[in-house]
């Protein structure tokens, strides 16, 4: 039984899974306030049950959301003495798509898009994660089908293809192949931080 945590977007999402079986979940669009909502949500969902491991979304996504989810996951893993594994937000979006070739585009900061191409058999990324302005993302991504919160912007900038919305939901982590849900549990920011060190 694994606890899955996702707080990289406006949603605060947790799930308790056993293999591919969903035992329980909580999913709320909170916008801001992940730090205040996440731990009570986990406590309410677990209702005294203790997982054998934790899966956490490492990003890319909201800087604060990524950090909140990882901090909570690390704290719980240490407290319970259980293993902690990471997964990518891009892979979580990709996991529910049956098409053979497609791309994922998520809204990033400063009007940029996080983009990555995927293929199936098995599900895996076909190129590195990049953070690009929509016009550059349009030139970099050739797959007709694009999933995610930034899909519409990419397809519009490119002038062709199909955009499909896809929600980041912790419960879908149970469908990730083993290779995509055993990443080091550390942040995937997708771009350089906004803050610069003082000279």
pLDDT of residue 35: 87
Instruction: Report the pLDDT value the prediction gives residue 191, as an integer from 0 to 100.
Output: 58
- What is the model's pLDDT at position 199? 59
Please say whether the beta carbons of 62 and 93 come within 8 A. no
- Give per-residue pLDDT as tens, 36-93: 999 999 999 999 999 999 999 999 998 999 999 999 999 999 999 999 999 999 999 9
- Report the pLDDT value the prediction gives residue 195, as an integer from 0 to 100: 42
How does pLDDT run across 4-32, given as a tens digit for each residue? Answer: 999 998 899 999 999 999 999 999 988 77
Residue position matching structure tokens 């893993």: 77
Q: How confident is the model at residue 196 (pLDDT cuts 50, 70, 90)?
A: very low
Q: Give the pLDDT band (50/70/90) at residue 166.
A: confident
* Distance in angstroms (rounded) separating the CA atoms of residues 112 and 191: 10
- pLDDT tens track for 105-162: 999 888 899 999 999 989 999 999 999 999 999 999 999 999 999 999 999 999 999 9
**Would you state the pLDDT for residue 27?**
95
Cα–Cα nearest to 169, from 54, 41, 32, 15? 15
> 103 to each of 34, 44, 58, 93, 112, how far by Cα in Å?
28, 35, 19, 10, 16
Q: Which pLDDT does position 192 carry in this prediction? A: 54
Domains in the chain, please, with CATH?
2-89+168-180 (3.30.420.40), 97-164 (3.30.420.40)
**pLDDT for the residue numbered 167:** 85
Q: Distance between CA 79 and CA 103 in Å, rounded?
A: 38
Cα first-last separation, the chain = 49
Handedness of CA 32, 73, 76, 51 (dihedral sign): positive
The pLDDT assigned to 194 comes to 46
């Amino acid at each position: 039984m694994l606890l899955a945590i996702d707080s990289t977007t406006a949603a605060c999402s947790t799930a308790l899974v056993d293999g591919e079986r969903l035992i329980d979940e909580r999913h709320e669009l909170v916008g801001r306030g992940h730090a205040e909502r996440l731990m009570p949500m986990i406590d309410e969902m677990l209702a005294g049950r203790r997982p054998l491991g934790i899966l956490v979304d490492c990003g890319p996504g909201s800087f604060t959301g990524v950090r909140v989810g990882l901090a909570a996951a690390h704290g719980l893993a240490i407290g319970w003495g259980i293993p902690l594994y990471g997964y990518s937000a891009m892979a979580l979006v990709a996991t529910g798509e049956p098409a053979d070739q497609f791309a994922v585009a998520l809204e990033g900061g400063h009007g940029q898009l996080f983009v990555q191409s995927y293929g199936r058999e098995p599900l895996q990324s076909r190129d590195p994660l990049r953070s690009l302005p929509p016009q550059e993302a349009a030139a970099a991504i050739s797959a007709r089908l694009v999933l995610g919160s930034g899909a519409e912007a990419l397809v519009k900038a490119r002038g062709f293809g199909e955009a499909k919305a896809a929600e980041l939901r912790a419960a879908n982590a149970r469908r990730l192949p083993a290779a995509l849900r055993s990443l080091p549990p550390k942040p995937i920011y997708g771009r350089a931080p906004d803050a610069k060190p003082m000279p």
